[in-house]
Chain A
Amino acid sequence: MSEQKRQSEDELLEKVTSTEYKYGFTTDIESDTIPKGLSEDVVRIISAKKNEPQWMLDYRLKAYKAWLEMEEPDWANVSYEKPNYQDVIYYSAPKQKPVLDSLDDLDPEMKKTFDKLGISLDEQKKLANVAVDIVMDSVSVATSFKETLAEKGIIFCSISDAIQDHPELVKKYLGTVVPARDNFFSALNSAVFSDGSFCYIPKGVKCPMELSTYFRINEAGTGQFERTLLIADEGSQVSYLEGCTAPMRDENQLHAAVVELIAMDDADIKYSTVQNWYPGNAEGVGGVFNFVTKRGICYKNAKISWTQVETGSAVTWKYPSCILKGDNAIGEFFSVAVTNNRQQADTGTKMIHLGKNTKSTIIAKGISAGKSDGNYRGLVKISKGATNSRNFSQCDSLLMGDKCGSHTFPYIEVKNNSSKVEHEATTSKIGEDQIFYCNQRGIGTEAAIALIVNGYCKDVLNQLPMEFAVEAQKLLEISLEGSVG
């Protein structure tokens, strides 16, 4: 490559990597916070503030005690200064009535926030037919479309409300897929989670609209520990969307969520995430630590499909997984993970095949730029009884610039001889011939990269519901391109 070309590419990469975070604004709303630090008392305060029943408090305390004995995991290929867990504020609620009669009652400041995020809670979403639950800092502030959904028997509310109004469901399922002691972060979440979403789709019901939750960390120094529990009863169907943003802050913010999905016989859950937490600045100062445990269980003929577009966070530690327990269950994982500047991501999935004729598909696309590191880590496990099971995995990595890293760590364990597993992985840079070809057709290098990256991610983006796909596409361009208006 000629010197001149190398230079122009360097300039371009420089431009690409110096893109500012678009969602870096804070919302000026009074918050109701408790002092920072974690203790048994704090757990009790959180529970009391939420007016929880005794069983919930007991659950939290048990998790807290387990957490005390656990160590923060360090097997992931990421390095960061471990958070001081006594320096985090574990509860912060926007100071206002958490449940609104009408969305018009929202604090105008908060409404502005949502508008900036591109979430309009009113007509737009009604037209788009999306029911939204918004969790800001730690508390769910608004759930739309509650009545429409109630007609079908669908429960879609904050998990706090669910604990009050549907204790039998929460009690039955909470912690069954991700036990509190599963890992360090799930234990922490189980002890201190302050809100999140709850969803129950009754037998045979096809949810008539997309359900959506937006998470936002606003208050400085707060951790966000949301908890999502989604139960799709026999033969039901639901598509669930999750979006995440956080303002720019110099210090690292902690996000340790737990998501549990239960797909009963013949149920179908599609769970899509667009994660755009603040990634820190170009020097790696600030940003969100995103330590998330997501797992679903599939019973007979059930299907869980995870789709994620991960562009944010300083450090991501996340493995949305499927336990394919019932015969003929299907698990899918479609992922685009972009790292830029100093971001680090260690993400992938686990597909645990237990039932017969279970199938899983993994499509993971990593894009690393700047001085970032992207890791795919995945497990495909075919247990002895999983006769005739299938897995196909494709993990591709695209490198942009010579200062970034891209790594692939698949674990494949097969104990059944009638099953088939195929795993493929490639690592390469964007083809210079592709860029030149685009150039020749009048497409500038920056637009060419966006185009090529888009094509490269198509298999994953195609899985997203329409309006999310458009948002994700834009997000990809923003994360990589420097074309922010």
Chain B
Amino acid sequence: MGLIENLKSYSEKVQTSEKKKELLTSFLVKGFPTTKDEEWKYTSLKKVVAKEYTIENTGELIDSSTIEKYSLGFENKIVFSDGKLISSPNIEGISISGFSDFEDSTTGSVLQLNKALANNGFTISVDKNTVLENPIEILFFSTAANNFSQYRNQISVGDNAEVKFVERIQNTNDSTSMVNHFTQINCAKNTKVEYNKIQNNTADSRLIDTVSVYQEQDSTCDINTLVFGGSFIRNNLNFEQNGSNCESNMNGVSILDDNQLADNHTFVDHKSAHCRSNEMYKGVYLGKSKGVFNGKIMVRPDAQKIDAFQSNNNLLLSDDSSIDSKPQLEIYADDVKCSHGCTIGQLDDDELFYMRSRGIGIEEAKAVLTYAFASEAIENISVEPVKLLAQNLLAQKLNVDLDFSL
């Protein structure tokens, strides 16, 4: 038995549309991707899907103190409890509602499964010219044990609008629940969107999260991914630039310990000329943790004058940690400036010694240097409380009592 079997028996009794049934049936033929699949070469789902999961969303309604506990305290909150949308704010110029299915251009069997099973999620539509200063906080809670849940969300941002989001997916128990999460963000002309993903779920939780961004001209979209908690995390980030003067920014910080695995996959598709992308992923690995980075920059023919920059830096701080990195460039236009850099190493002994000679204890010195290492990516986040949280979680992971918020 295992997830595939759970899905099979679910498919036999579920009442759903013909189309979804078909998707599910064809998924069950193919199954989950294996490490033979180039996109999953370094990340094995084998153990994750060998577990038993419930497919239906059933759980207890969470209470306000739980919300309080995981919220960063923003005024505008969207809250889901086991799939149910239990709270959503009224904001002028922004309509927020529950699940409404939509088509998307993503491929891959995991997303096909999402398409087949999802009947929860949010739909946000931001009117033209709406500028929202404070971020919208989106919280997904799961109270059911060992549940395999799907969310399918869509954000459409109208011309000239500016909006920020902070998202958190949280289990309220220590089970091996898994979430297959998909968010489509459509950025119309001259929009500014920032989406912050806080991934600090319980120790045994699993997550496959995909965000696809479609950008029109003059739009800027930032996605910040903070990976701290969870045993298995796979992030897919896809940007499609469809107009000139687009900018796509990605910042990622992963601090892993124990047996955690975090895989950040990014794909930037430069389809139009005069666009930019910046990508900065920092990884710190402790215990027996494993990091994977796979970043691909594609510049299509005639997409001239592209500036694309990608960096992936990793610190291996323990004997049993490891990292697999695959930074890739696929360039079909000549007037471009594209680069990627990848480093894997340790903290600098001279720097450590220097700090210790100034009276800073070794653990603190390590923490300070590690923070310095990760801070470049954290600094790019514009939402102050998210930045602060990242700093605190970092200190917590490194076991030091330090305030980095200077």
CB of B23 closer than 8 Å to a CB of A: no
**A428–B317 touching, CB < 8 Å:** no
**B334–A417 touching, CB < 8 Å:** no
CB of A229 closer than 8 Å to a CB of B: no
**B325–A405 touching, CB < 8 Å:** no
Residues in B neighbouring A417, C-beta threshold 8 A:
316-321, 346
Q: Which of B317-352 contact A (CB under 8 A)?
A: 317-346
**B327–A423 touching, CB < 8 Å:** yes
CA distance A401 to B332 in the complex (A): 10
CA distance A195 to B78 in the complex (A): 72
**A407–B304 touching, CB < 8 Å:** no
Q: Which of A415-435 contact B (CB under 8 A)?
A: 415-429
Residues in B neighbouring A407, C-beta threshold 8 A:
328-331
Residues in B neighbouring A422, C-beta threshold 8 A:
341-345
Residues in A neighbouring B346, C-beta threshold 8 A:
417-418, 420
* Closest-CB distance, B353 to chain A (whole angstroms): 17
Q: Which of B334, B337, B343 contacts A400 (CB 8 A)?
A: B334
CB of A413 closer than 8 Å to a CB of B: yes
CA distance A397 to B336 in the complex (A): 11
**A408–B329 touching, CB < 8 Å:** yes
CB of A406 closer than 8 Å to a CB of B: yes
**B317–A412 touching, CB < 8 Å:** no
**B339–A412 touching, CB < 8 Å:** no
* Closest-CB distance, A94 to chain B (whole angstroms): 44
* Closest-CB distance, A317 to chain B (whole angstroms): 17
Q: A382-B344, A413-B42, A415-B322 are in contact. List 20 more A-B contacts (CB 8 A).
A: A75-B38, A399-B334, A402-B301, A403-B301, A408-B329, A410-B325, A410-B327, A410-B342, A412-B323, A413-B322, A413-B325, A420-B345, A421-B344, A422-B342, A422-B344, A423-B325, A424-B341, A427-B329, A427-B331, A428-B336
* Contact A420 B328, CB 8 Å, known A402-B301, A402-B334: no
CA distance A415 to B322 in the complex (A): 5
Main secondary structure of the interface of B (DSSP, over half): strand
Which of chain B's residues has its CB closest to A402's CB? B334
Residues in A neighbouring B325, C-beta threshold 8 A:
410-414, 423
Residues in A neighbouring B302, C-beta threshold 8 A:
402
**B339–A425 touching, CB < 8 Å:** yes
Q: Which of A191-220 contact B (CB under 8 A)?
A: none
**A429–B335 touching, CB < 8 Å:** yes
* Closest-CB distance, A435 to chain B (whole angstroms): 13
**A405–B340 touching, CB < 8 Å:** no
Residues in B neighbouring A420, C-beta threshold 8 A:
343-346
The 5 A-B pairs of least Cβ separation, nearest first, read A417-B316, A399-B334, A421-B344, A420-B345, A423-B342
CB of A404 closer than 8 Å to a CB of B: yes
CB of A456 closer than 8 Å to a CB of B: no
**B339–A426 touching, CB < 8 Å:** yes
CA distance A454 to B276 in the complex (A): 30
**A409–B326 touching, CB < 8 Å:** yes
Which of chain B's residues has its CB closest to A375's CB? B330
CA distance A382 to B316 in the complex (A): 13
Which of chain A's residues has its CB closest to B285's CB? A417
Which of chain B's residues has its CB closest to A390's CB? B345
* Closest-CB distance, B65 to chain A (whole angstroms): 41
CA distance A399 to B324 in the complex (A): 28
**A429–B328 touching, CB < 8 Å:** no
* Contact A428 B338, CB 8 Å, known A407-B329, A412-B326: yes
13 residue pairs bridging A and B, Cβ less than 8 Å apart: A402-B301, A402-B302, A407-B331, A408-B327, A408-B340, A412-B323, A413-B322, A413-B324, A417-B319, A422-B342, A422-B345, A423-B342, A429-B335
Residues in B neighbouring A382, C-beta threshold 8 A:
344
Q: Which of B288-328 contact A (CB under 8 A)?
A: 301-302, 304, 314, 316-328
Residues in A neighbouring B342, C-beta threshold 8 A:
410, 412, 421-424
Which of chain B's residues has its CB closest to A399's CB? B334
**B336–A429 touching, CB < 8 Å:** yes
Q: Which of B38, B316, B319, B334 contacts A414 (CB 8 A)?
A: B316
Q: Which of A212-241 contact B (CB under 8 A)?
A: none
* Closest-CB distance, A379 to chain B (whole angstroms): 10
* Closest-CB distance, A169 to chain B (whole angstroms): 39
Residues in A neighbouring B330, C-beta threshold 8 A:
405, 407
* Closest-CB distance, A76 to chain B (whole angstroms): 12
CA distance A408 to B310 in the complex (A): 13
Residues in B neighbouring A412, C-beta threshold 8 A:
323-326, 342, 344
CA distance A16 to B338 in the complex (A): 24
* Contact A405 B331, CB 8 Å, known A412-B344, A421-B342, A427-B338: yes
Max count, chain A CB within 10 A of own CB: residue among B38, B321, B328, B331: B331
Question: Please, what's the 1-or-0 string for B356-373, where 1 marks a CB less than 8 Å from any CB in chain A?
Answer: 000000000000000000
CA distance A408 to B42 in the complex (A): 18
* Closest-CB distance, B294 to chain A (whole angstroms): 10
**B334–A401 touching, CB < 8 Å:** yes
* Closest-CB distance, B66 to chain A (whole angstroms): 38
* Contact A409 B328, CB 8 Å, known A402-B301, A402-B304, A417-B316: yes
* Closest-CB distance, B259 to chain A (whole angstroms): 15
Q: Which of B318, B320, B321, B326 contacts A411 (CB 8 A)?
A: B326
**A425–B327 touching, CB < 8 Å:** yes
CA distance A435 to B332 in the complex (A): 22
Residues in A neighbouring B318, C-beta threshold 8 A:
417
Residues in B neighbouring A414, C-beta threshold 8 A:
314, 316, 322-325, 344
CA distance A145 to B343 in the complex (A): 47
CA distance A408 to B345 in the complex (A): 22
CA distance A428 to B336 in the complex (A): 6
Question: Please, what's the 1-or-0 string for A388-399, where 1 marks a CB less than 8 Å from any CB in chain B?
Answer: 000000000101
**A419–B336 touching, CB < 8 Å:** no
Which of chain B's residues has its CB closest to A393's CB? B342
**A406–B322 touching, CB < 8 Å:** no
CA distance A75 to B345 in the complex (A): 30
Residues in B neighbouring A419, C-beta threshold 8 A:
316, 344-345
**B345–A425 touching, CB < 8 Å:** no
Residues in A neighbouring B343, C-beta threshold 8 A:
420-423
CA distance A422 to B325 in the complex (A): 11
* Closest-CB distance, B21 to chain A (whole angstroms): 34
CA distance A416 to B318 in the complex (A): 9
CA distance A416 to B346 in the complex (A): 10
* Closest-CB distance, B332 to chain A (whole angstroms): 5
**B335–A402 touching, CB < 8 Å:** yes
* Contact A410 B332, CB 8 Å, known A421-B342, A421-B344, A425-B339: no
* Closest-CB distance, A475 to chain B (whole angstroms): 23
CA distance A418 to B329 in the complex (A): 28
CA distance A241 to B341 in the complex (A): 32
Residues in A neighbouring B331, C-beta threshold 8 A:
397, 399, 405-407, 427
* Closest-CB distance, B354 to chain A (whole angstroms): 19
Q: Which of A440-469 contact B (CB under 8 A)?
A: none
**A425–B341 touching, CB < 8 Å:** yes
* Contact A427 B336, CB 8 Å, known A412-B344, A417-B321: yes
Residues in A neighbouring B321, C-beta threshold 8 A:
417
CA distance A382 to B337 in the complex (A): 30
Which of chain B's residues has its CB closest to A423's CB? B342
CA distance A425 to B327 in the complex (A): 9
Which of chain B's residues has its CB closest to A387's CB? B319
**A425–B340 touching, CB < 8 Å:** yes
Q: Which of B142-176 contact A (CB under 8 A)?
A: none
Question: Please, what's the 1-or-0 string for B36-53, where 1 marks a CB less than 8 Å from any CB in chain A?
Answer: 001000100000000000
Which of chain B's residues has its CB closest to A432's CB? B335
* Closest-CB distance, A402 to chain B (whole angstroms): 5
CA distance A411 to B344 in the complex (A): 13
CA distance A429 to B320 in the complex (A): 42
* Closest-CB distance, B329 to chain A (whole angstroms): 4
Residues in B neighbouring A418, C-beta threshold 8 A:
346
Which of chain A's residues has its CB closest to B325's CB? A412
